[in-house]
């Protein structure tokens, strides 16, 4: 397929199936700062391409192989490439023709890989409603709980054998994005998918424990600092926490391990919106939004050049932590 034939439309799973069958030499990538859905999805796709004897390479933004060892133990180090500006990336990627972009709302979310990825035939599979369909082939369905669920439907369409590693990867993706089926994006199809994987012998309990466990004692102590910083607005509808770069550095933990802290303020009884403000770099704030029932946090995130889903979104803002908190809270309160 030539790039000049690109049409910004939604394709069917059958079109995607045909594209995979008729092509080879795939790169696979998810969004920067990957969550469980992104990691589970890229891993599941890699395992399936291996099963189909298709040549493929995972592109990673950072080394997550230890954090997600339950899946990476099935791969050798030649199966993935971690971004490093000192690598001859153009030369390494010259062997490939196509790239599968998963769980990525827009090309900006590809981070430093973006400039390389744009040169390939892009297969874009996502569930963010604001995805602009940037691929040669696009399947964007915001009604699906997780990209992992889209892939599972695709695999079943193609009679892929769901072995242990594929099943674990899909389960991780779906359970991560549905809060282990606790979030409102879970529906009867999602429950049936997990039940189906359970029937196939996938250890759902193990994956849930993995998602809910703490990576280290140091992380737990840092979490204690974050919880001590929680505040609630005067109406009792918005709760937030913050961590400074100094607090993170004192903890001596890997900054990549800091995720999902936003769930703690959100889960206070009576709270509609939870927010976390994490200063991962000096005067550069990583913000996560979560809501329960009615507030579309993606609209708030878009005000700060972010995005995501109605109940889960994020943004990154340059500025002083205290001022960023004030600016964001001012915007959030317009919707409460």
CA-to-CA distance for 222 and 74, rounded, in angstroms?
31
Sequence ranges of the domains in the chain? 3-212, 217-332
* CATH 3.40.50.300 fits domain 3-212: no
- Left (φ > 0), alpha (ψ -120 to 50) or beta: where does 119 sit? alpha
pLDDT in tens, the chain (336 residues): 333 344 457 889 999 999 999 999 999 999 998 999 999 999 999 999 999 999 999 999 999 998 899 999 999 999 999 999 999 999 999 999 999 999 999 999 999 999 999 889 999 999 998 899 999 999 999 999 999 999 999 999 999 999 999 999 999 999 999 999 998 899 999 999 999 999 999 999 999 999 988 888 998 999 999 999 999 999 999 999 999 999 999 888 877 778 889 999 999 999 999 999 999 889 999 999 999 989 999 999 999 988 888 899 999 999 999 999 999 999 999 998
Task: Tell me the CATH class for 217-332.
Answer: alpha beta
Neighbours of 146 (CB within 10 A): 28
- Phi first, then psi, for residue 238 (nearest 5°) are -120, 130
192 Cβ contact list (under 8 Å, min separation 6)? none
CA distance 188 to 172: 18
Q: Do domains 3-212 and 217-332 have the same CATH topology?
A: no
């Amino acid at each position: 397929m030539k790039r000049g034939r690109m049409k910004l439309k939604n394709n069917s799973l059958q079109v995607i199936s045909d594209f995979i069958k008729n092509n080879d030499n795939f790169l696979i990538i998810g969004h920067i700062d990957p969550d469980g859905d992104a990691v589970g999805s890229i891993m599941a796709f890699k395992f399936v391409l291996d099963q189909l004897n298709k040549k493929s390479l995972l592109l990673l933004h950072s080394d997550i192989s230890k954090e997600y060892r339950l899946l990476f133990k099935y791969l050798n180090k030649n199966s993935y490439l971690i971004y490093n500006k000192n690598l001859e990336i153009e030369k390494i990627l010259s062997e490939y023709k196509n790239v599968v972009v998963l769980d990525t709302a827009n090309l900006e979310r590809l981070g430093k890989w973006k400039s390389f990825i744009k040169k390939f035939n892009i297969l874009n599979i996502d569930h963010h409603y604001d995805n602009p369909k940037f691929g040669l082939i696009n399947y964007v369905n915001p009604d699906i709980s997780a990209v992992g669920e889209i892939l599972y439907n695709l695999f079943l369409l193609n009679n892929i054998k769901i072995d242990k590693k594929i099943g674990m990867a899909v389960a991780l993706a779906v359970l991560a994005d549905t809060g282990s089926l606790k979030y409102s994006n879970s529906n009867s199809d999602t429950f049936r998918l997990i039940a189906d994987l359970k029937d196939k012998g996938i250890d759902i309990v193990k994956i849930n424990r993995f998602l809910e466990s703490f990576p280290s004692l140091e992380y737990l102590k840092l979490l204690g600092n974050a919880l001590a910083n929680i505040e609630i607005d005067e109406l009792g509808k918005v709760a937030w926490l913050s961590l400074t770069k100094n607090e993170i550095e004192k903890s001596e933990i890997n900054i990549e391990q800091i995720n999902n802290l936003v769930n703690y303020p959100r889960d206070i009884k009576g709270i509609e919106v939870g927010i976390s403000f994490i200063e991962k770099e000096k005067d550069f704030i990583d913000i996560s939004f979560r809501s329960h029932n009615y507030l579309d946090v993606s609209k708030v995130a878009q005000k700060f050049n972010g995005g995501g889903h109605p109940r889960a979104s994020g943004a990154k803002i340059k500025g002083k932590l205290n001022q960023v908190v004030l600016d964001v809270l001012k915007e959030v309160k317009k919707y409460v």
